[in-house]
Amino acid sequence: MAIQLTGLTVGAAGFQGMTALMTAKWLGASERGVIAIAQTLSMVLLLVGCAGLTTGTRVVLADDSRRIDFRSYVRATRWLLLSQLILVTTVGLSVFIRLTHISVAAVAISFIIIGVGSLRAALLREAFHGVGWHRAAVFSELLAAVVPLFLVIAAHYRGVLSLSVAMLSLAAGYITQLILQSLFARRYLAQSRTETVTNRAGLALLRYILRFCLPGFVATLGFAFAGRMDRLVLAYFHNTAAVGVYSTASTLADAAWIIPMASSALIVRQVAQTKSPQAHRLWWRRILLMTVAMSLVIFVASAWLLTHFLGPEFASGIPVVAVLLVGALALASQQVDLAVCSGMGDLGASAHVALAGVLVAAVLFFSLIPPFGAMGCALASAATYFVTAAVARLRLRKHLSVELGAA
């Protein structure tokens, strides 16, 4: 299972990375920057709109004692879509236009579809992870990554590729993911012999889940700022071309923590079911070693991609990749530690880590990005990752000490 999930996750990230590289090569750094700003804003709005459910859903559905079933969860979370639509069309679209100075109708419509569709897709993905359908969760993301790449390549060779077409292609990816997730949900419900067991429904169930996930909501807001706001700050102080170079370098570096990201669902579910953090040491060593190996491969490949494949416009991204890859090691450690904490029901751990990240990032982003641009983003992000990894480890030690005491 772990190998299959890792393979599917690597495939999805690979196709997403290829889409980023192709749009960077064919549209240039400036328009690639616009796409990156749209994706970053959508991610931030997703983390706000999900109200912490992306961190708590796996625990809620994996823990049978909470008496919440898949069908009731899916129905209850539909209420979040309306608030997300309002948030995206007002705040999100206004900020996007302010940072990019682009108000083309096709781009705006695509941005709205991505902003709302990504929320629903994320909630369903977490629900599948919660009930143990990990392959369904990851395979839907894989197909959603294939569709935009295919459309972008087809548009390029037909001579019609533009910023609007690229944005519409990304929106088509989320629509595809939602369709596939709906099919998987019907299949799961048809195969499940368990009837609805929850004593709550609709808004009552949603309020219960939101209360449980409140620490996760704090965490998602913190991680949104610490992990994604660098691109928006860079766009504000510099331009979309700088964002294009940095986001391309960051996309390459992000591949280094695909393995911990893919493994986190398995770790959370295993710990939630066993009620024990004993598996931490084995997971941590294994994932850190794989992350180091992958980072070395990525750096060598990135040097060629940025200088020869994309051209001189992106060559300044090589040192950015190097710094971010060092930070990826801290992210991998943090991912494993927080997955164990979440499996133990300690969503407050993520909130504490996120708060530390916000405090550090707030200082470093506005200190380093204005004078140093993309390199300032990389240095600030890497430093933030190491601080949050240290906080995550301190939080994890509480659970490990309790386990040793009980033994």
- Predicted confidence (pLDDT) per residue in 131-172, tens digit: 778 788 888 888 889 999 999 999 999 999 999 999 999 999
113 compared with 349, residue with greater pLDDT: 113
pLDDT reported for residue 206: 73
Predicted confidence (pLDDT) at residue 193 exceeds the cutoff of 70:
no
Where residue 202 falls (left for φ over 0; alpha for ψ -120 to 50; beta otherwise) is left
> Lowest-confidence range among 59-63, 310-314, 326-330?
59-63
pLDDT band at 350 (very low <50, low <70, confident <90, very high): confident
Gap between the Cα atoms of 3 and 132, Å rounded: 15
pLDDT reported for residue 405: 46
CA distances from 395 to 37, 149, 219, 287 (A): 33, 40, 14, 19
pLDDT reported for residue 407: 47
The residue written with tokens 């990240």 in the block is: 357
Q: What is residue 199's DSSP assignment?
A: S
Please state at what angle helix 79-87 crosses helix 70-77, rounded to 10 degrees: 30
Predicted confidence (pLDDT) at residue 200 exceeds the cutoff of 60:
no
Q: Which two tokens stand for residue 375?
A: 């390199």
Please state at what angle helix 2-49 crosses helix 258-274, rounded to 10 degrees: 90
Predicted confidence (pLDDT) at residue 116 exceeds the cutoff of 70:
yes
Q: Are the C-beta atoms of residues 23 and 153 closer than 8 Å to each other?
A: no
Gap between the Cα atoms of 190 and 382, Å rounded: 46
Q: Are the C-beta atoms of residues 136 and 185 closer than 8 Å to each other?
A: no
pLDDT band at 268 (very low <50, low <70, confident <90, very high): confident
Q: Are the C-beta atoms of residues 389 and 356 closer than 8 Å to each other?
A: no
- Using the CB atoms, write b or e for 191-230: b if 16+ within 10 Å: eeeeeeebeeeeeebbebbbebbbbbbbbbbbbbbbbbbb
Q: Which two tokens stand for residue 6?
A: 């890792």
CB burial of residue 30 (10 Å; 0-12, 13-18, 19+): middle
Q: Is 214 helix (H, G, I), strand (E, B) or coil?
A: helix
